[in-house]
Every structure is written in structure tokens, then in C-alpha cells.
């Protein structure tokens, strides 16, 4: 069965793009969330194999959401999606337990690599 991925980003544009990349690489999109709160909620419901987590989001940012998800499931696979210039936030996310990061503008090759490194 294909591995399931939860996509978290407040921009529909990014979600759609990630979704396409996820599917192109033979994985399945478990669900999408538009902020950290929703991400945590959907993680509980779906227990996906991996989460792609945007950092800058309303309500709850990706760092806090990563923390909460790691509290729920210490084996959770979270990949944070950061922008250039967000290095401190990426560091914080990695400290919070994120396994990897990708940097926007996202490149299909990098997304593939990050997904495969964790899931294959």
C-alpha cells in the first residue's frame, strides 16, 4: 500500500503543487491542512506516514505543530518546508523533531529526495 502523506500549507497553490509531487512519486495524499492546529488534528485522525509542514502559517505555525505532533507520536516523520531566509526557524523545527527540510521555491527533485530518504 502506498505510503500516506499529510500536506500542511496555508497556500492552496503550494498544497496543490506538493500534492502533485507526492503523487508523481507514488505516494498517496492522506489529507491537507491549512494551519498548524488543523495539522495536529488531522495527524491524530489519520496517522499519516509523513507530514510536509509549512512554517509560516496563521493560528499555529509549523514549528509548534511539529512539536505537538512529536508529542503525540515520537516516531512521526515531519519534513518542514521553509523559505529562504528562514534558517533559524528550520533549526528550531529540526530541534523540535523534524526529520528533514525542503526550501521554497520547491524543486521537484528535492521533494522527491526528501520523501524517498524517509519513506523508502
Partner 1 sequence: MDMDEFQEMYASESREHLDILNDALLTLENDPENMEMVNESFRAAHTLKGMAGTMGFDQVSELAHAMENILDELRNGEIAVTTEVINLLFRAVDNLELLSSDPDQVEDLEGLIKELRNYTGDDTELSTGNQETSASSNNDYFSLDQDELEMVEDTPGETVIIKVILESDCVFKSLRADMVFDALEELGELIKANPSIDDIREEKLDEEFQVLFLTKESKETLSDALSNISEVDTIEIEVVEDLDDLSIQQESTGAEQEDESTIDGAKDKDSKSKKKSKTQSLSSRLRSSSTIKVDVDRLDSLMNLVAELVIKRTQVESVARSYDLDDLEKKLKPLSKVTTDLQDAVMEMRMVPISMVFNRFPRLVRDLAQDLEKDINLKIEGEETELDRTIIDEIGDPLVHLIRNSIDHGIEPPAEREEKDKPREGLVKLSAFHEGNNVVIQIEDDGAGIDPDVIEEKAIDKGVASPSEIENMSDQEIINLIFAPGFSTNEEVSDVSGRGVGMDVVKNKLDSLNGSIDIKSEVGKGSTFTMKLPLTLSIIQGFLTTVADQKYVIPLESIQEIVDVQPEDIQTIRQEQVIHRRGSVIPLISLRNKLGKEDDFEEEEISTVIVEIANDYYGLMVDSIIGQQEVVIKRINDLSENIEKIAGGAILGDGSIALILNVEEITIG
Task: Give whole-number Cα distances, 113 to 57, 69, 88, in Å.
Answer: 24, 23, 23
CB 44 to partner 1: min, Å? 17
CB 26 to partner 1: min, Å? 15
**DSSP count for the chain of H helices, then E strands:** 5, 5
CB 119 to partner 1: min, Å? 11
Give the three cell numbers for residue 27: 505516494
Q: Residues interacting with partner 1, by CB under 8 A?
A: 10-14, 16-17, 20-21, 24, 32, 34-35, 38, 56-61, 63-64, 83-85, 87-92, 94, 100-108, 110, 113-114, 117-118
Rank residues 35 and 78 by Cβ distance to partner 1 and give the closer one.
35
Rank residues 1 and 105 by Cβ distance to partner 1 and give the closer one.
105
Distance CA 36, CA 51 (A): 11
Rank residues 17 and 50 by Cβ distance to partner 1 and give the closer one.
17
CB 41 to partner 1: min, Å? 12
Question: Are the C-beta atoms of 62 and 8 separated by less than 8 Å?
Answer: yes
β-bridge pairing 4-8 and 78-83: unpaired
Amino acid at each position: 500500500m502506498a505510503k500516506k502523506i499529510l500536506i500542511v500549507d496555508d497556500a492552496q497553490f503550494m498544497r496543490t503543487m506538493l500534492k502533485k509531487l507526492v503523487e508523481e512519486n507514488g505516494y498517496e495524499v492522506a489529507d491537507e491542512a491549512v494551519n498548524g492546529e488543523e495539522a495536529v488534528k488531522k495527524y491524530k485522525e489519520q496517522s499519516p506516514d509523513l507530514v510536509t509542514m509549512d512554517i509560516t502559517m496563521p493560528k499555529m505555525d509549523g514549528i509548534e505543530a511539529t512539536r505537538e505532533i512529536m508529542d503525540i507520536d515520537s516516531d512521526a516523520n515531519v519534513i518542514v518546508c521553509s523559505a529562504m531566509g528562514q534558517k533559524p526557524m528550520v533549526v528550531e523545527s529540526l530541534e523540535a523533531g523534524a526529520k528533514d527540510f525542503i526550501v521554497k521555491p520547491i524543486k521537484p527533485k528535492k521533494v522527491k529526495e526528501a520523501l524517498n530518504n524517509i519513506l523508502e
